[in-house]
């Protein structure tokens, strides 16, 4: 009995001979039958048990408690009742409403900016050698391995009144914009932070476009801009959607960048969650704000997933 | 023997300039921090006509609060990375090498901390564990850091496992090795680089984290990134900058190791299943 449990085989890894995981289950029939027997074994559960217990009790349970805190109120008699009052309060309060709208606006603008900046870069990276592509990717990602505080402090020095940017303006005789503690500063910080993620997502799509298709278009007399607009751009839509669905949640949920670059006047749902919870210790309200943030991210992600599914059907990949 | 590069769509010169501009945009702020850390001026002003100094760096070993927070950070990060690596490696083995009912749900659960904003995770841990007195100080921080680093370990180890050649293990079993012997002598040496990279990734993610930690750390038990954030939100001077640079230099050493063994793009990449 023990031998069938002990065989260290798995169907998945033998099937991933091709990079895009398209290959079907390979191998002789006897091996597959062994695999099928292993599937019914308990060792998978045993190996996953610590993960399930840990994430269940230290992540899932606290998250549910958070939702409970904002949805359920207990009265003096100990009875429980469902409430949406914390949410109603968030949307009734013009300040909190402004925070919701600002968070969405800032996240949307910085996500689109990363896309606009990263896309031409990715197209160029497609046509350089793999070695240089690796070097550029590493350089792009290297700031991510420093603390977000460090990255943001650099912007503080650049954007502060009479900081590096203002001095650059004065050099050509203009008045500097003194961007620190504005929404623009938050957008700049977020855009810098997440360009690397966008490039990675776009790259998977852009590298997959076959050269033959582009070459054919050129041979038939298409100009570079036509090739981009009518061939490359449509084929890289899945990569764009993937990038947006990675970057948008990160920008919307960020804390340090809006706190340090936006100042107290430009609160976002991230900074507001912290202020309500830690400074004002109003847990139900903090939980409601965190949940509004979570819903915003979830709705955007679901929409993007649905659009991606539709696009993939059209492109046929 | 070199493979011909792809068809050109972008003018190479334009592309190179664009790439340079993006890299400057992405990396320049870090150099500004370096410049501020070396500036003799009391406040961050430009240009640095007051000369350069290493004085800020010499103050680092004198700040007891900072040193204590750094020591806590090391304990939290390496402790969290150790647990996350153990739990995550076993989880990755289960998810890549076994098929069972509920596998999809468990896979989703393991990656889920990445899909919830860290401020929400932090608040949830405060409400669920800290407010009811289950854990505080060191324990709540290490729990939080294990939760957010687990998905990275899962991802790194999974990607190592997926590319593994199974024939070696089949051969070992055929020659009579027990399951444990095969795991220890054949499987482990093969996945060790991936496991270590996952651990290193966990250390880095933990060491730089602020969004989650700021909910869990406090004056009684502070850690380095939170200390730096709190200091810098009051004033950004050469001291904050020099601490930042010291942190960057330390994490660069780690990055080198990760990049050598796995590659950053595989860790940050979106192809997690």
Residues of A in Cβ contact (< 8 Å) with B185: none
Q: Considering only alpha carbons, which residue of chain A is nearest residue B15?
A: A124
The domains of chain A, with CATH numbers, are 1-41 (no CATH), 42-83 (no CATH), 89-315 (1.10.3720.10)
Section A38-45 average pLDDT: 69
Which pLDDT belongs to residue A182? 94
Q: In the structure encoding, which two tokens stand for residue A244, read together? A: 């947006």
Is residue B5 within 8 angstroms of chain A, CB to CB? yes
- Nearest residue to A158 (alpha-carbon basis) of B176, B97, B35: B35
Q: In the structure encoding, which two tokens stand for residue B264, read together? A: 């950053």
Give the start-to-end residue ranges of the domains of chain B: 8-53, 63-268
User: CA A264, CA A182: separation in Å to the nearest integer?
Assistant: 10
Architecture of domain B63-268: Orthogonal Bundle (1.10)
Q: In the structure encoding, which two tokens stand for residue B193, read together? A: 């680089």
Residues of B in Cβ contact (< 8 Å) with A7: 173
DSSP H or E run through A74: strand A72-74
What is the band of A262 on the pLDDT scale with cuts at 50, 70, 90? very high
The residue of A51, A176, A205, A298 whose CB has the most chain B CBs within 10 angstroms, and thus the best one to mutate to test that interface, is A51
Written as one string, the DSSP assignment of A214-252 is HHHHHHTT--HHHHIIIIIHHHTHHHHHHHHHHHHHHHH
Dihedrals phi, psi of A177, to nearest 5 degrees: -80, -10
Q: Considering only alpha carbons, which residue of chain B is nearest residue A9?
A: B97
Task: Answer left, alpha or beta for residue A235, where phi above 0 means left and psi between -120 and 50 means alpha.
Answer: alpha
Nearest C-alpha of chain A: how many angstroms from B98? 5
User: CA B202, CA A152: separation in Å to the nearest integer?
Assistant: 22
Question: HSE-up of A217 (CA within 13 Å, CB side)?
Answer: 19
Nearest C-alpha of chain B: how many angstroms from A142? 8
User: CA B132, CA B265: separation in Å to the nearest integer?
Assistant: 40
Which pLDDT belongs to residue A19? 39
User: CA B196, CA B188: separation in Å to the nearest integer?
Assistant: 11
- Nearest residue to A286 (alpha-carbon basis) of B112, B195, B264, B214: B214
pLDDT per residue as tens digits for the range B50-74: 678 888 899 889 999 999 999 999 9
Residue B34 pLDDT > 50, yes or no? Answer: yes
- Nearest residue to A123 (alpha-carbon basis) of A232, A225, A244, A239: A232
Residues of B in Cβ contact (< 8 Å) with A259: 233
User: CA A199, CA A123: separation in Å to the nearest integer?
Assistant: 10
pTM of the model: 0.85
Using CA atoms, how far residue B231 sits from A42, B187, B220, B264, in Å, is: 51, 46, 16, 30
User: CA A236, CA A251: separation in Å to the nearest integer?
Assistant: 22
Residue A12 pLDDT > 60, yes or no? Answer: no
What is the band of B270 on the pLDDT scale with cuts at 50, 70, 90? very low
Question: Looking at residue B3, what DSSP letter applies?
Answer: P
Q: Which residue has the tokens 């795991």?
A: B183
Residues of B in Cβ contact (< 8 Å) with A283: 123, 126-127, 131
Q: In the structure encoding, which two tokens stand for residue B199, read together? A: 């651990």
Yes or no, beta carbons of A145 and B204 under 8 Å apart: yes
The residue of A28, A39, A55 whose CB has the most chain B CBs within 10 angstroms, and thus the best one to mutate to test that interface, is A55
User: CA A131, CA B115: separation in Å to the nearest integer?
Assistant: 32
Using CA atoms, how far residue B81 sits from A276, B89, B160, B252, in Å, is: 30, 11, 18, 18
User: In sequence order, which residues have a C-beta less than 8 Å from that of residue B269 and are 6 or more positions away?
Assistant: A200, A204
Most confident of A49-63, B134-148, B170-184, B233-247: A49-63
Residues within 8 A of A (CB atoms), B 59-78 only: none
Instruction: Note whether A279 and A255 are within 8 A (CB).
Output: no
Yes or no, beta carbons of A62 and B124 under 8 Å apart: yes
- Nearest residue to A135 (alpha-carbon basis) of A193, A190, A199, A188: A199
* Stronger pLDDT, B112 or A33, i.e. the higher one: B112
pLDDT per residue as tens digits for the range A132-146: 999 999 899 888 777
């Amino acid at each position: 009995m023990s031998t069938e449990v002990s065989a260290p085989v798995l169907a998945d890894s033998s099937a991933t001979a091709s990079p895009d995981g398209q290959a079907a289950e390979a191998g002789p029939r006897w091996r597959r039958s062994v695999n099928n027997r292993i599937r019914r074994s308990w060792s998978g559960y045993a190996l996953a048990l610590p993960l399930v217990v840990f994430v269940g009790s230290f992540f899932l349970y606290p998250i549910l408690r958070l939702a409970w805190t904002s949805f359920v109120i207990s009265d003096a008699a100990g009875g429980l009742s469902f409430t949406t009052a914390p949410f109603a309060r968030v949307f009734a309060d013009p300040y909190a409403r402004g925070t919701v709208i600002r968070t969405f606006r800032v996240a949307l603008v910085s996500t689109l900016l990363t896309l606009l900046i990263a896309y031409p870069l990715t197209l160029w990276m497609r046509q350089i050698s793999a070695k240089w592509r690796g070097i550029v990717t590493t350089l792009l990602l290297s700031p991510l391995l420093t603390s977000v505080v460090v990255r943001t402090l650099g912007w503080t020095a650049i954007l502060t009144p009479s900081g590096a940017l203002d001095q650059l303006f004065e050099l050509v005789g203009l008045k500097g914009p003194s961007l620190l503690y504005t929404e623009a500063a938050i957008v700049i910080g977020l855009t810098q932070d997440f360009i690397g993620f966008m490039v990675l997502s776009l790259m998977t799509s852009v590298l997959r476009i076959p050269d033959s298709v582009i070459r054919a278009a050129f041979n038939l007399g298409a100009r570079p801009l036509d090739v981009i607009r009518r061939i490359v751009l449509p084929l890289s839509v899945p990569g764009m959607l993937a990038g947006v669905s990675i970057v948008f949640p990160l920008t919307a949920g960020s804390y340090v960048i809006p706190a340090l670059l936006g100042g107290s006047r430009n609160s976002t749902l991230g900074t507001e969650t912290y202020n309500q919870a830690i400074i004002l210790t109003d847990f139900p309200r903090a939980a409601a704000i965190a949940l509004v943030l979570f819903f915003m991210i979830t709705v955007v992600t679901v929409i993007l997933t649905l659009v991606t599914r539709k696009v993939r059907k059209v492109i046929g990949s | 023997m070199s493979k011909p590069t792809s068809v050109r769509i972008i003018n190479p010169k334009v592309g190179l300039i664009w790439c340079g501009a993006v890299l400057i945009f992405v990396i320049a702020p870090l150099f500004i921090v370096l410049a501020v850390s070396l500036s003799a001026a009391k406040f961050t002003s430009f240009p640095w006509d007051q000369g350069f100094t290493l004085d800020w760096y010499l103050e680092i070993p004198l700040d007891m609060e900072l040193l204590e927070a750094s020591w806590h950070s090391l304990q939290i990060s390496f402790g969290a990375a150790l647990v996350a690596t153990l739990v995550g490696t076993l989880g990755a083995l289960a998810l890549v090498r076994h098929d069972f009912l509920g596998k999809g749900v468990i896979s989703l659960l393991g990656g889920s901390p990445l899909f919830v904003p860290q401020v929400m995770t932090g608040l949830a841990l405060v409400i669920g564990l800290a407010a009811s007195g289950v854990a505080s100080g060191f324990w709540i921080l290490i729990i939080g850091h294990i939760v957010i680093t687990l998905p990275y370990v899962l991802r790194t180890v999974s990607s190592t496992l997926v590319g593994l050649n199974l024939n070696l293990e089949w051969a070992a079993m055929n020659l009579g090795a027990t399951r444990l012997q095969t795991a220890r002598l054949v499987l482990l040496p093969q996945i060790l680089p991936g496991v270590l990279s996952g651990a290193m990734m966990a250390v880095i993610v933990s060491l730089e984290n602020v969004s989650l930690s700021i909910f869990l750390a406090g004056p009684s038990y502070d850690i380095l990134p939170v200390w730096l954030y709190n200091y810098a939100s009051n004033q950004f001077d050469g001291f904050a900058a020099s601490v930042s640079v010291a942190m960057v230099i330390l994490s660069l050493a780690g990055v080198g190791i990760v990049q050598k063994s796995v590659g950053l793009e595989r860790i940050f990449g979106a192809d997690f299943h």
